[in-house]
Amino acid sequence: MARAGVTTERLIRAAAELADEIGFQNVTLSALARRFGVKPAALYSHVKDARDLRVKVASLALAELADRAAAALAGRAGKDALVAFANAYRDYAKEHPGRYAAAQGELDEETVDVGAARRHADMTRAILRGYDLPEPDQTDAVRMLHSTFHGYVSLETAGGFRRHPREVDVSWSRTLDALDTALRNWPRA
Amino acid sequence: MARAGVTTERLIRAAAELADEIGFQNVTLSALARRFGVKPAALYSHVKDARDLRVKVASLALAELADRAAAALAGRAGKDALVAFANAYRDYAKEHPGRYAAAQGELDEETVDVGAARRHADMTRAILRGYDLPEPDQTDAVRMLHSTFHGYVSLETAGGFRRHPREVDVSWSRTLDALDTALRNWPRA
DNA sequence: TGCAAATACTTAAAACCTGTAAGAAGGGCG
DNA sequence: CGCCCTTCTTACAGGTTTTAAGTATTTGCA
């Protein structure tokens, strides 16, 4: 019987794909083993835990998302940068809902990929460079931006906006306009 | 052997409490049965499914949250109303993280408590009454507000803001100021 | 009051999932 | 070729969900 050729790399990647297909919640070691034509116990050679698997998928998602955002941000400034970043963020979440969910859930603990988190924060700060905000207002603004992006995407994918006919894309666009307004007129202490 | 006296009502309430204690993810029918001194199968008299249980907890949370928000909103207008509503929202989520998680996760499907969802939307619209926004801008603003509140609370409880020393309460307050600014200067199409 | 029907609960069992331990098979390398 | 490390399997323990069938308790009605 030939080996299945499972590696941690391929395992995490498969888990991410499966998450996008059936939802992050439903990604199980058993289902993954099935997909590789292998018994569940075999996966413990490549991954410590079910938790370890989830954290690694989260790390992958955070890194991918950061790559996208960085690409979107390149060569842009001000509102241009804001919109590009926000759209990259939202598009990624819509294309990869399972990965996005992974990136949210497993943030806590020491196990987190601190590097990816820092990249995100740094990029959000880069957006603000066009708005001339001093610290600590910058930190407040970073938190607000991240909150709005995540909240919108999260509610949208959960179906929270489906009850009203207004186009979700349009509301998104207007929300970005409003954020731009808020940043340009940031309330000084 | 005396009966345990489980009712759907008490079951849901216990599930909500358990969720706040150990996290919504970890609320299991078995754990609930244990808490009532009853075998797991007994709970199927009061609840259709594990999913049914989760949906009912979500409903409870949404209703409680709506009550709190309504109370906070009473007699206020404009920014006052905005801040009161937002704080009620955030305080509830911090006091009842398990319930709040329940209210988020199980939004989809037809099973949702449409009534509670409508109450939330109506209240958010009530806030906007002080800002003189016509439709469809009002819908856009409702979505933005909800997104920011949910996003902030969600990231905060997930530990997303712990990496930076800036006080989370202060950033929250400044975020509300910025939202007020955005609403007062809402970008017309 | 007493008994029948409705309801609460138990036991039993199937189907999954996680995780550990022990051993067999595959592949690289001296 | 043969050794050894790694991958994978088998076997098993423990836990959760859910259904089915049966027992016991309470309710309500004559």
Tell me if A175 and B143 make a contact (CB, 8 A cut-off): yes
User: Which residues in B lie closer than 8 A to residue A149 (C-beta atoms)?
Assistant: 151
Profile chain B (189 residues) by mean pLDDT over runs of 10 residues: 86 98 97 98 97 95 95 95 98 98 75 77 92 93 97 93 88 98 93
Q: Which pLDDT does position B107 carry in this prediction?
A: 60
Grouping H, G, I as helix, E, B as strand and the rest as coil, residue B164 is coil
Query: Residue A170: closest CA among chain B residues belongs to which residue?
Result: B140
Mutate which of B143, B156, B163, B188 to disrupt the A interface (most A C-beta within 10 Å)? B143
User: Which residues in B lie closer than 8 A to residue A147 (C-beta atoms)?
Assistant: 147-148, 151-152, 154-155, 175
Tell me if B144 and A187 make a contact (CB, 8 A cut-off): no
Would residue A189 count as lying in a domain? Answer: no
Q: Hey, is the C-beta of A26 within 8 angstroms of any chain B C-beta?
A: no
Q: Hey, is the C-beta of A3 within 8 angstroms of any chain B C-beta?
A: no
Domain containing A138 equals 2-184
Instruction: Looking at the complex, report in whole angstroms how far the Cα of residue A4 sits from the nearest Cα belonging to chain B.
Output: 33
Would residue B173 count as lying in a domain? Answer: yes
A170 touches strand C (CB under 7 A): no
Instruction: Return the half-sphere exposure (C-beta side, CA atoms, 13 A cut-off) of residue B188.
Output: 3
A163 or B145: which leads in pLDDT: B145
Over residues A5-17, the mean pLDDT reads 96
Q: Which pLDDT does position B17 carry in this prediction?
A: 98
Residue B17's CATH number: 1.10.357.10
- pLDDT category of residue A143 using cuts at 50, 70 and 90: very high
User: Which residue of A107, A118, A187 is in closest CB contact with B160?
Assistant: A107
Would residue B189 count as lying in a domain? Answer: no
Environment class of B132 (CB within 10 Å of its CB; exposed 0-12, middle 13-18, buried 19+): exposed
Over residues A135-156, the mean pLDDT reads 96
Would residue B85 count as lying in a domain? Answer: yes
What integer best gives the mean pLDDT of chain A?
Answer: 93
User: Which residues in B lie closer than 8 A to residue A183 (C-beta atoms)?
Assistant: 178
Backbone angles phi, psi at B160, to 5 degrees: -70, -15
Cα–Cα distance, A32 to A17 (Å, whole number): 10
Least confident among A86-90, A129-133, A161-165? A161-165
Q: Which pLDDT does position B115 carry in this prediction?
A: 80
- B29-48 in b/e burial notation, b at 16+ Cβ within 10 A? beebbeeeebeeeebeebbe
Residues 3-42 of chain A in contact with strand C via CB under 7 angstroms: 3, 28-31, 40-41
Tell me if A166 and B114 make a contact (CB, 8 A cut-off): no
In angstroms, the CA of B25 and the C1' of C30 are apart by 53
Instruction: Return the half-sphere exposure (C-beta side, CA atoms, 13 A cut-off) of residue B93.
Output: 19
A95 or B159: which leads in pLDDT: A95
Instruction: Looking at the complex, report in whole angstroms how far the Cα of residue B167 sits from the nearest Cα belonging to chain A.
Output: 9
Contact partners, residue B7, CB within 8 Å, separation at least 6 = B46
Q: Which pLDDT does position B180 carry in this prediction?
A: 98
Under a CB-based contact definition with an 8 Å cutoff, are residues B130 and B77 in contact?
Answer: yes
Q: Which pLDDT does position A42 carry in this prediction?
A: 97
Q: Is A106's pLDDT higher than 80? A: no
- pLDDT category of residue A172 using cuts at 50, 70 and 90: very high
Q: Which pLDDT does position B111 carry in this prediction?
A: 57
User: Smallest Cα–C1' distance to nucleotide D16: which residue has it?
Assistant: B30
Query: Residue B105: closest CA among chain A residues belongs to which residue?
Result: A158
Instruction: Return the half-sphere exposure (C-beta side, CA atoms, 13 A cut-off) of residue A144.
Output: 31
Our count of domains for chain A comes to: 1
Would residue A36 count as lying in a domain? Answer: yes
B160 or A84: which leads in pLDDT: A84
Residue A125: enclosing H or E segment and its boundaries?
A: helix A114-128
Q: Which pLDDT does position A107 carry in this prediction?
A: 60
- pLDDT category of residue A64 using cuts at 50, 70 and 90: very high
